[in-house]
Amino acid sequence: MNARHDTQRAPLIGRAAFARMAMAGTDLTPLGQELLRRAAATPEDANTLMDLSSLLLLNGNRSLSLQMQKQALDMEQIYRLPLRDEPVLRVLALMAPGDMMANTPIDFLLENSDVELSLLFIGGDFPVPTQLPEHDLLFVAVGESEANLPLLHQLQDSLRNWPRPVLNSPELIACLARDAVHARLHDAPGIALPRTLRTDRDTLERLATGALAPTAILGDDFPLIVRPVDSHAGIGLERLESPAAVAAYLAGASAHEFFISRFVDYRSGDGLFRKYRIALIGGKPYLAHLAISEHWMIHYLNAGMADSADKRAEEAYAMQRFELDFARRHRQALDAVYQRMGLDYLGIDCAETRDGELLIFEADTSMVIHDMDPADLYPYKQPQMRKVFAAFRELLLATARPHR
């Protein structure tokens, strides 16, 4: 690694800043052209290449984005986000090469804060360098995935005697695969989590022909939920009602490993589905968003929240009353998630069943939690997200404080 001091590079813009501009509707073409000119003029500027990688990813060009990222990492593995004032804390985040889902988006949580954040990319062709930035705290931002498992296992030994406090132990992050989360949480009080099984294409083909019944492997019949291993954001996720539906799904799927589970109809009495994204910070829950949709597969961007004042009013009320309502109703379940998963910072996508249990879809450290929705349309969002960011900052400070 040919390390260069930050003063020899253009300041890093960073993924959070690009995402904020994109969500505000800013035309990023002029900025992209400027970055291309800068890359041509100073090809040794790793910050520029990393910013180009972020911009390409936002534009949907994942393959070229990862190529550009590797070029940047071949020159420099450490990236520092801009900071306006003297830092109250210096955090070093361990990152894996990859797209947005490869790591905890810690830069979104610390955007414009007084915490100095250095991102160190390691794994594969990129070993831990001998010289590291001065830091008060180490945060393991490497997310759970098939690609990252070797790195997480390697970090278990590497971090055992780290001279600074460490948040989010890698051995616990490695337990966030969907079947592993089920194994840890399925019998916790107040939690509904249908059995989740990792299976292969051959098994699904047997389900498609009727040679194998769902009850034989899941203990439940159709409908089933299926998704490829390592898929997120609903990519490849479908509800299958019959063997013929399994066959049709496989005809359009290229993956060889899948997760399957029983479908739970979690719609409320009014016929709408509600999905909550919760940040567990030091064990305390914070509501990051509530998405309300007519469809069972909910993502905030496709739930029609921007088009419905009623939905936004309900989300605002849920945020205002979260500690007194949702968090209180599910206190036992949320405490069980924290105790059993053991992570200092964790995101949960969940819902409420008709029986009043906490239905958990996913527990992960790589969920994007942000305050970038338009303030004129969502005036209640930024005050709520300031609570989330302040809680995360306090977690960092409280962890580092006894060792400073």
- pLDDT tens profile 330-370: 999 999 999 999 999 999 999 999 999 999 999 999 999 99
For 88-109, write each residue's pLDDT tens digit.
Answer: 999 999 999 999 899 999 999 9
Q: For 132-147, what is the mean pLDDT?
A: 96
What pLDDT does residue 301 have? 87
Q: What is the mean pLDDT of the chain?
A: 93
Q: For 196-209, what is the mean pLDDT?
A: 94
For 163-200, write each residue's pLDDT tens digit.
Answer: 999 999 999 999 999 999 999 999 999 999 999 999 99
For the chain, give every domain's residue range.
6-168, 195-262, 273-402
3-class SS string, the chain:
CCCCCHHHCCCCCCHHHHHHHHHCCCCCHHHHHHHHHHHHHCCCCHHHHHHHHHHHHHCCCHHHHHHHHHHHHHHCCEEECCCCCCCCEEEEEEECCCCHHHECCHHHHCCCCCEEEEEEECECCECCCCCCCCCCEEEECECCCCCCHHHHHHHHHHCCCCCCCEECCHHHHCCCCHHHHHHHHCCCCCEECCCEEEEEHHHHHHHHHCCCCHHHHCCCCCCEEEEECCCCCCCCCEEECCHHHHHHHHHCCCCCEEEEEECCCCCCCCCCEEEEEEEEECCEEEEEEEEEECCCCCCHHHCCHHHCHHHHHHHHHHHHCCCCCHHHHCHHHHHHHHHHHCCCEEEEEEEECCCCCEEEEEEECCCCCCCCCCCCCCCCHHHHHHHHHHHHHHHHHHHHHHHC
Q: For 130-157, what is the mean pLDDT?
A: 95
The domain defined by 195-262 folds into Dna Ligase; domain 1 (3.30.1490)
Q: Examine the pLDDT at 1 and tell me if it is beyond 60.
A: no
Percent of the chain whose pLDDT exceeds 70: 97
For 309-327, write each residue's pLDDT tens digit.
Answer: 999 999 999 999 999 999 9
pLDDT band for position 230 (50/70/90)?
Answer: confident
What pLDDT does residue 404 have? 63
Query: pTM of the prediction?
Result: 0.93
Q: What's the CATH architecture for 273-402?
A: 2-Layer Sandwich (3.30)
